[in-house]
């Protein structure tokens, strides 16, 4: 299985397993995408994304390490765009996932429906 995990905060293997009941992570190829989200409106307005990128990189690495420790076959991570659909689109351009699991808060849109419609890949949304 090729699994794309979109997560703004670190996630562990138990959370991913819970999101995919009946699926085996053993040997799965996993790409963890961590969107670089500015926590501060001021940082966003002045385009200061360094801290957001560093935070996203750390969250992605922590998630990937947790999945590796639990037997995922090959796990890698990347920092993604702050807009979740753009982050997914960019990741899917080089990683043809069989499944997508969302661990992001998206108050403005129905990210799950938009992702399924746009990418034609099954999506599981884990509300945070």
Q: Which pLDDT band, with edges at 50, 70 and 90, does 23 fall under?
A: confident
Q: Is the pLDDT of residue 4 over 70?
A: yes
Mean pLDDT calculated for residue range 15-26: 88
**What's the CATH code of the domain at 60?**
3.40.50.620
What strands lie across the sheet with 99-103, from one edge to the other? 74-80, 29-35, 2-7, 99-103, 123-125
Q: Which pLDDT band, with edges at 50, 70 and 90, does 63 fall under?
A: confident
What pLDDT, in 10s, does the model give residues 28-40? Answer: 899 999 998 866 4
Q: Is the pLDDT of residue 13 over 80?
A: yes
Count of domains observed in the chain: 1
């Amino acid at each position: 299985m090729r699994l794309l995990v979109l997560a703004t905060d670190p996630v562990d293997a138990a959370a991913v397993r819970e999101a995919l009941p009946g699926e085996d992570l053993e040997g799965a190829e996993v790409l963890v995408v961590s969107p670089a989200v500015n926590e501060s409106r001021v940082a966003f307005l002045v385009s200061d994304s360094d801290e957001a990128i560093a935070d996203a990189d750390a969250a992605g690495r922590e998630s990937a390490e947790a999945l590796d420790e639990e037997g995922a076959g090959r796990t890698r991570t990347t920092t993604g765009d702050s807009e979740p659909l753009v982050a997914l689109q960019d990741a899917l351009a080089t990683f043809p996932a069989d499944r997508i699991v969302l661990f992001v808060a998206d108050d403005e849109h129905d990210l799950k429906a938009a992702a399924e419609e746009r990418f034609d890949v099954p999506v599981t949304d884990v509300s945070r």
